[in-house]
Structures are given as C-alpha cells and as structure tokens.
C-alpha cells in the first residue's frame, strides 16, 4: 500500500531535519524525572516567570482591564485599579475594532506600531517609521517570516553565529536553506572577527552557496556577550561589502549586567555611519516582550523593524503575514506597554520603577554568582555573562569520560548533562545544541533561578562536577584548573 502523507517516511524532509535542543533529550528526561517525583530545576529555557519571577503590576492591570472591559463600567473600578491603568486600557481599547476579541491588521495595530516607532526614535536618536514595523507573536515568528522571505532554496546561505540560539538553525532547515556558521571566539569573550566572517563566506561560496543574510544576536544567546560599537560597525561594513541583509536579534537589549558596553542597536550604529551604507544596507531588527525585566514569554509579543527594505518587499511580507490574519492582540498591548511604560509623574511610575529595577539588579547579581560559581569548579571555565539570561561554561571533560560517553552512545556533553540532571535535578542544555568547536564541550544554564536558591544550586553543581571529574581524571585531584 502506498504511504500516506503523514506517515513518517513521507513527511516533508525539511521537517525531519529540524533540531531544537532547548526542548530536546535533556528536557524530555527532566520532564520524566519530574513525573516520578524528583525536584527539577528547569534552567533549560529562558522563561523567567516559570522560575518564580512576578509579573510587573502596571501592564497586567492594563491588559486585565482590556480583557474584561465590563470592569471599566463598574463603579468600584477606581478602588481596584489606578487611574493611569484605567486611562491606558481605554486608550488601547479605542484603537481596536471590537476589543481584544477582534483580529487586528496583520501588521498589528497602527497606534501600537507608532508607540514602537517612538520608542526606537528615543532609543536611537533617529526617526523610525511605523509602516516599517510589524508586530508578531514573539520574536520567533518575526525571524521565521524573514527567513522564509529570504531563503529560496538550498543554494541560499544564512550566516549564523556559533554557538547560536537554535531557532536559526531550525528555521533555516525548515525553509530548506543552508546554515553557514561563523565562530565566536571563546577566549576573546565570545567576540567576532571580520576576518573569520570573510572566511566563512568564502568557504560557503566554494560549495556553491550564495550567502544572503547574516544574523547577529546581541546580547548573545547562549554566550552572553555584548557587542561593542566597533564590532557592530565591522559587521555592518562587512554586510555592505558582501551584499548581505543583516538580521539583528536584539531581544535581550534590556538585559545588560556590566557598564562598559551598554546596548547599542545595529540601527543606531548604521545611521551614525551615514553615507550610502546608511541608505542602502538592508537591516531587520527584532524585539520581544519575553525577555528584559518583563519576561512575559507566554504572552507571545514581538516586533520587527525593517530598514532600507524596498516597499514592494515590505508589501510581500505584509501579504504573507496576512495568511495568519493577525498577531495576538493582547500581546500587542504588552508590546505597547513595554515600549511606552509609565512616565515620571504618573501614578504607577514609582511602583513600576521599583519592580523593574528590582528584577534587573537581581539578575545582575545572579549573573555574577553563576559565573564565579562555575569558575570555582574543577575543569570548568566560564566567561562572565555580560548580558542576556544565560551562562555558558566550558566543561573540560577528561578523555575517559569522553570514552564512557561513546560507549553509552551519547555525545560527551549530553552524557555529562544527563548525569548532572540525575544527580542534582538541574536541567541544562548541552552545548552541542547550540554548536561548538570540535572537541570542546559546554552546557547552557539560565541565570533565572531565584536569587535565594542560587548559592545552593551552585554548591550542588560544584559537588556533582568535582566528583565527576575525580572519577574520570587519571590522576584524581591533579592537575586542577
Ligand atoms: N531570539 C533569541 C536570541 C532568543 O533567545 C529567543 C528566545 C527568541 C529570539 C524568541 O523569543 P520569543 O519568540 O519568545 O520572542 N529564547 C529561548 C531560549 O533560548 N530559552 O528560552 C526561549
């Protein structure tokens, strides 16, 4: 009998090629162990609320009122909600054509796109056009829309940093394009070099691949580095010279834990450069409500901004977005609130600042605790998390551990992470899920567990790791790193 279209053998091969480690083998094993009653610390996903982060009060008040507009007619509403939240909810409802239950324009509500444009203008010092901003269900959907528009087939390559967030490798595989890696340099704090970029493009060309676009993740996931202005200039210049679209993944722009390199957007650096490059280089920048001190991952709100993209292409991207009718409308409101939070003098301002500062300052302390914790472990070295939400320590596995992993039919880092999970309940993602140089092993953990649990988690990691290393080192206790 001929196979049916949804039989595994006859599925779209691109679907089968997709790999997505953040919810891979480690996550599945952790879920099993949890069902068996083991306490699991889920540090595999950057999902702050799942690890106890409280939502910011003001945005939830506004969206609650938008979701339940009858509350606005209740005489007690002003006892329960501050006047600025009530006013904002009425404002947003007036932008919709029937409240949150109605589809919006496929690009998102114009008024909210204007709020996003104002935010970008304030952030960068250059005007932004709401017609070139599309709201999306999380940044993931935006990235997929753009990759889909760019990739025509196997011959089209996308330059992606390695280690990378696997959304990129997965989406490129799904759309049938070619993944072209450029390696970040661990010993240079995960920096990138223009010379290496050139080499990656040349190698791809030699295989008959046309590199069409380049991705940067700034601040980096899983690597946590913040790109300097000079780095960004080099990248922009490189893309200009090689005729590449730059996809700027800037979802962690609020998550900065050092003062030397504040976040600078690719758009600002491009505009600062002036001249033909600033008018010609095609750039798409992505942002989300999932990260920062918002962490509203479940709401699925995001946007992308297009710079120097011809209007006919903008229209085509609009047409394709229309197939899904409308981005989530409540999420659009979260985005409006994120880019236009309470201002000094507003009733909710002090509370908003207290809450958001509290989260960011705690994340900054947690980044430090984790890095220091990892660096105090035997055979572990870790760059400081300058930004984003992750720590990405290198685990120097002894040859005998690598052999044992082979015997068990596992990649060496997967083997280590599974043992860590079984021993401590700490659920991480092996470095191979993000890509790493041959023979070098990492794991990724988030810096999101509650601050008060952090020392204990690091102690438990250290105990496991040092026992593991003692077991596999030929000369236990020597040499130590
Ligand atoms: N870009 C990067 C670099 C990300 O890390 C993520 C999410 C996204 C885009 C997409 O986020 P949203 O679709 O929610 O806007 N990061 C995942 C991760 O590594 N852990 O948790 C989610």
pLDDT digits (tens, 9 = 90+) for 13-43: 999 998 877 678 899 999 999 999 999 999 9
Domain housing 308: 99-339
Same domain, 223 and 107: yes
Q: Is residue 84 part of a domain?
A: no
Q: Is residue 82 part of a domain?
A: no
The edge-to-edge listing of strands for the beta sheet with 429-430 is 390-391, 443-446, 429-430
Same domain, 106 and 172: yes
Q: Is residue 345 part of a domain?
A: no
Dist CA 37 CA 426 (whole Å): 14
The minimum-distance atom of ligand 1 relative to the CA of 166 is 19
Q: Which of 134, 287, 290 has most ligand 1 atoms within 8 Å of CB, for mutation?
A: 290
Q: Supply the pLDDT for residue 475.
A: 62
| Ligand 1 center from residue 9 Cα (angstroms) | 31
Is the predicted pLDDT of residue 156 greater than 70, yes or no? yes
| Ligand 1 center from residue 140 Cα (angstroms) | 7
Q: Which of 289, 309, 339 is the last residue of a domain?
A: 339
Same domain, 335 and 384: no
Q: Supply the pLDDT for residue 3.
A: 87
Q: Which of 313, 339, 365 is the last residue of a domain?
A: 339
| Ligand 1 center from residue 464 Cα (angstroms) | 29
Dist CA 321 CA 71 (whole Å): 33
The minimum-distance atom of ligand 1 relative to the CA of 297 is 14
The minimum-distance atom of ligand 1 relative to the CA of 288 is 15
Is the predicted pLDDT of residue 86 greater than 60, yes or no? yes
Confidence of residue 249 (pLDDT cuts 50, 70, 90): very high
| Ligand 1 center from residue 81 Cα (angstroms) | 32
Cα 396 from chain centroid (whole Å): 26
The minimum-distance atom of ligand 1 relative to the CA of 221 is 3
Dist CA 375 CA 172 (whole Å): 35
The 10s digit of each residue's pLDDT in 179-225 is 999 999 999 999 988 888 999 999 999 999 999 999 999 999 999 99
Same domain, 271 and 390: no
Same domain, 289 and 426: no
Q: Is residue 235 part of a domain?
A: yes
Q: Is residue 258 part of a domain?
A: yes
Confidence of residue 480 (pLDDT cuts 50, 70, 90): very low
Same domain, 335 and 357: no
Dist CA 237 CA 3 (whole Å): 51
| Ligand 1 center from residue 57 Cα (angstroms) | 23
Q: Residue 220's domain is classified under what CATH number?
A: 3.40.640.10
**Residue of 406, 418, 441 lying closest to 163 (CA atoms):** 441
Identify the sign of the CA torsion 88, 91, 96, 97. positive
Same domain, 281 and 365: no
Same domain, 387 and 461: yes
Q: Is residue 91 part of a domain?
A: no
Average pLDDT over residues 66-90: 96
| Ligand 1 center from residue 473 Cα (angstroms) | 37
Residues of the chain with pLDDT > 90: what percent?
92
Q: Which residues, judged by CB distance below 6 Å to any ligand atom, belong to the binding site of ligand 1?
A: 22, 45-47, 138-140, 165, 167, 217, 221, 249, 251, 288, 290, 297, 302
Q: Which of 282, 316, 339 is the last residue of a domain?
A: 339
| Ligand 1 center from residue 144 Cα (angstroms) | 12
Q: Which of 288, 331, 429 has most ligand 1 atoms within 8 Å of CB, for mutation?
A: 288
Same domain, 164 and 288: yes
Which residue's entry shows tokens 């899920």? 433
| Ligand 1 center from residue 4 Cα (angstroms) | 34
Same domain, 402 and 465: yes
The 10s digit of each residue's pLDDT in 385-416 is 999 999 999 999 999 999 999 999 999 999 99
The minimum-distance atom of ligand 1 relative to the CA of 165 is 3
CB atoms within 10 A of CB 328: 21
Q: Is residue 76 part of a domain?
A: no
The 10s digit of each residue's pLDDT in 92-125 is 999 999 999 999 999 999 999 999 999 999 999 9
Q: Is residue 173 part of a domain?
A: yes
Q: Residue 359's domain is classified under what CATH number?
A: 3.90.1150.10
Is the predicted pLDDT of residue 469 greater than 50, yes or no? yes
Is the predicted pLDDT of residue 374 greater than 90, yes or no? yes
Q: Supply the pLDDT for residue 476.
A: 52
Same domain, 180 and 105: yes
The 10s digit of each residue's pLDDT in 432-454 is 999 988 899 999 999 999 999 99
Tally of domains within the chain: 2
Q: Residue 225: left if φ>0, alpha if ψ -120 to 50, beta else—which one?
A: beta
Same domain, 111 and 260: yes
* Mean residue pLDDT across the chain: 95
């Amino acid at each position: 009998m001929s196979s049916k279209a949804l039989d595994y053998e006859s599925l779209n091969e691109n679907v089968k090629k997709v790999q997505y480690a953040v919810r891979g083998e480690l996550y599945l094993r952790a879920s099993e162990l949890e069902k068996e009653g083991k306490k699991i610390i889920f540090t595999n996903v950057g999902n702050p609320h799942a690890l106890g982060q409280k939502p910011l009060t003001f945005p939830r008040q506004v969206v609650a009122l938008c979701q339940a507009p009858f509350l606005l007619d209740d005489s007690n509403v002003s006892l329960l909600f501050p006047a600025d939240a009530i006013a904002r909810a009425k404002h947003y409802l007036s932008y919709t054509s029937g409240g949150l239950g109605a589809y919006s324009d496929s690009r998102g509500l114009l008024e909210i796109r204007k709020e996003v444009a104002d935010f970008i203008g304030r952030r960068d010092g250059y005007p932004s056009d709401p017609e070139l901003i599309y709201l999306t269900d999380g940044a993931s959907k935006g990235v997929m829309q753009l990759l889909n528009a760019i990739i025509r087939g196997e011959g089209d390559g996308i330059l992606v940093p390695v280690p990378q967030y696997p959304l990129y490798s997965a989406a490129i595989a799904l759309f049938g394009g070619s993944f072209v890696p450029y390696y970040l340099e661990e010993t240079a704090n995960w920096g990138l070099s223009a010379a290496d970029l050139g080499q990656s493009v040349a190698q791809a060309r030699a295989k008959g691949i046309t590199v069409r676009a380049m991705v940067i993740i700034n601040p980096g996931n899983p690597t946590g580095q913040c790109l300097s202005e000079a780095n960004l200039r080099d990248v922009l210049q490189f893309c200009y010279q090689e005729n590449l679209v730059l996809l700027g993944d800037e979802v962690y722009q609020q998550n900065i834990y050092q003062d030397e390199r504040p976040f600078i957007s690719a758009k600002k650096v491009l505009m600062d450069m002036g001249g033909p490059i600033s008018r010609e280089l095609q750039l798409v920048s992505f942002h989300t409500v999932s990260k920062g001190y918002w962490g509203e991952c479940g709401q699925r709100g995001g946007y992308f901004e297009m710079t120097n993209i011809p209007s006919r292409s903008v229209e085509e991207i609009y047409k394709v977005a229309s197939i899904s009718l409308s981005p989530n409308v409540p999420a659009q409101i979260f985005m409006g609130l994120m880019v236009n939070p309470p201002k000094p003098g507003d009733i909710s301002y002090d509370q908003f600042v207290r809450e958001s500062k509290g989260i960011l300052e705690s994340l900054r302390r947690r980044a430090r605790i984790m890095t220091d914790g990892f660096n105090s472990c035997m055979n572990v070295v870790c760059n400081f998390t300058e930004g984003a939400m992750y720590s990405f320590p290198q685990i120097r596995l002894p040859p005998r551990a690598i052999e044992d992993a082979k015997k068990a039919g596992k990649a060496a880092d997967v083997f280590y992470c599974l043992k860590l999970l079984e021993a401590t309940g700490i659920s991480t993602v092996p470095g191979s899920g993000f890509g790493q140089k041959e023979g070098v092993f990492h794991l990724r953990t988030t810096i999101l567990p509650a601050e008060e649990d952090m020392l204990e988690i690091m102690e438990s990691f250290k105990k496991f790791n040092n026992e593991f290393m003692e077991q596999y080192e030929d000369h236990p206790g020597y040499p130590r790193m």
